[in-house]
């Protein structure tokens, strides 16, 4: 069955390169966009958490998106982070994404104010009704303090045809299974954790919204394709080989380790905005010991 909107199997949650003054480094950003497209990213997510969205101004988000759009030049889909824990702010951000020419938006479960499931239905329903853009729901209990239940996702998917997918950043395979079971066939589930990509695909996910694809995009795509064509042994071997990196790039708050990896690869300088801090020398040593197996 055709999907409601096809963002592909690998969406990279793109980092935002910074210079020594922690301003956006557009030269490095150009290099990064080309690198990601050339190594298997079907879509780029701009101004998500991995892009340090909590510390980007609204003007910066728009500027970054417009720049990425110019460099990508139609070679991949572009999704803009447009979530908020205030429904009206999320609607405004969604309208801005539309004006920027985004192909779709990512909208996170409201954080900190911890709404009920009924509140989630109201929140996402209002956003979906405000736009004709495809909407990608983002369920990440570790950062929001609440879990959007499979029944809630299914109700939204059935009621709003422009809600095309959910990013599931949780390790509960029963919940993933139940989401797949309850949602329409043309609704997509994405893994929100690199290390859970293969397990989630085995119970009905389509692909991954990835951090590791900054480094091993081609290998991840191979793993997904192997599983889907029935080469499950090869896919499992691939998963086991990539697993140490999947885990190590989350040894510190995201995107600190992946930025260090990209700096080591010569693609960016390694700077993050406060309150995040760069890795210390011992942590870098640990990370490089794993990274060297993949680059």
Model confidence pLDDT, tens digit, residues 43-97: 999 999 999 999 999 999 999 999 999 999 999 999 999 999 999 999 999 999 9
167 carries an active-site annotation: yes
Structure tokens at 131: 């736009």
Task: Please pick, among 23, 98, 118, 138, the residue that the annotation labels catalytic.
Answer: 138
Residue 249, CA distances (Å) to 73, 112, 187 in order = 29, 26, 29
Nearest alpha carbon to residue 272 among 257, 287, 293, 283? 257
DSSP string covering 272-295: --TTS----HHHHHHHHHHHTTT-
Q: What is the CA radius of gyration of the chain?
A: 18
Q: What is the pLDDT of residues 217-239, one digit of tens each?
A: 999 999 999 999 999 999 999 99
Task: Please pick, among 167, 221, 248, 259, the residue that the annotation labels catalytic.
Answer: 167
Our CA angle for 159, 161, 163, nearest 5°, is 90
Q: What is the mean pLDDT of residues 148-158?
A: 98
Structure tokens at 42: 């079907």
pLDDT class for 279, splitting at 50, 70, 90?
Answer: very high
Residue length of the chain: 295
* The model's pTM: 0.97
> What is the spatial distance between Cα 24 and Cα 279, in angstroms, rounded to a whole number?
20
What are the structural domains of the chain?
10-231 (3.20.20.70)
Check residue 146 and give its pLDDT.
97
The dihedrals phi and psi of 221, each to the nearest 5 degrees, come to -65, -40
Check residue 1 and give its pLDDT.
60
Residue 168's contacts (CB-CB under 8 Å, 6 or more residues apart) are: 139, 175, 176, 179, 189, 190, 191, 192, 200, 205
Task: Return mean pLDDT, the chain.
Answer: 97
């Amino acid at each position: 069955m055709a999907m409601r909107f096809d963002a592909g199997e690998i969406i990279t949650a793109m980092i935002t390169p910074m210079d020594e003054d922690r301003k956006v480094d557009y030269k490095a950003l150009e290099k990064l966009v080309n690198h990601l497209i050339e190594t298997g990213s079907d879509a780029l997510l701009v101004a998500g958490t991995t892009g340090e969205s909590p510390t980007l101004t609204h003007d910066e988000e728009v500027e970054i998106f417009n720049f990425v759009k110019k460099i990508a030049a139609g070679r991949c889909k572009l999704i803009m982070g447009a979530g908020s824990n205030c429904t009206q702010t999320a609607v405004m951000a969604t309208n801005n994404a539309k004006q920027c020419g985004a192909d779709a938006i990512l909208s996170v479960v409201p954080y900190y104010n911890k709404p009920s499931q009924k509140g989630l239905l109201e929140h996402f329903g209002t956003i979906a009704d405000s736009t004709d853009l495809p909407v990608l729901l983002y369920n990440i209990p570790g950062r929001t303090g609440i879990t959007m239940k499979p029944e809630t996702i299914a109700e939204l998917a059935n009621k709003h045809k422009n809600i095309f997918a959910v990013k599931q950043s949780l390790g509960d395979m029963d919940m993933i299974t139940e989401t797949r079971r309850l949602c329409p066939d043309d609704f997509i589930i994405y893994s929100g954790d690199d290390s859970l990509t293969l397990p989630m695909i085995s119970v009905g996910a389509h692909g991954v919204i990835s951090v590791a694809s900054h480094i091993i995009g081609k290998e991840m795509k191979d793993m997904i394709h192997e599983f889907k064509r029935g080469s499950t042994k090869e896919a499992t071997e691939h998963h086991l080989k990539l697993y140490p990196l999947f885990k190590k790039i989350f040894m510190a708050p995201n995107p600190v380790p992946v930025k260090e990896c990209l700096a080591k690869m010569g693609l960016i300088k390694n700077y993050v905005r406060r309150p995040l801090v760069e890795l210390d020398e011992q942590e870098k040593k640990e990370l490089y010991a794993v990274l060297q197996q993949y680059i």
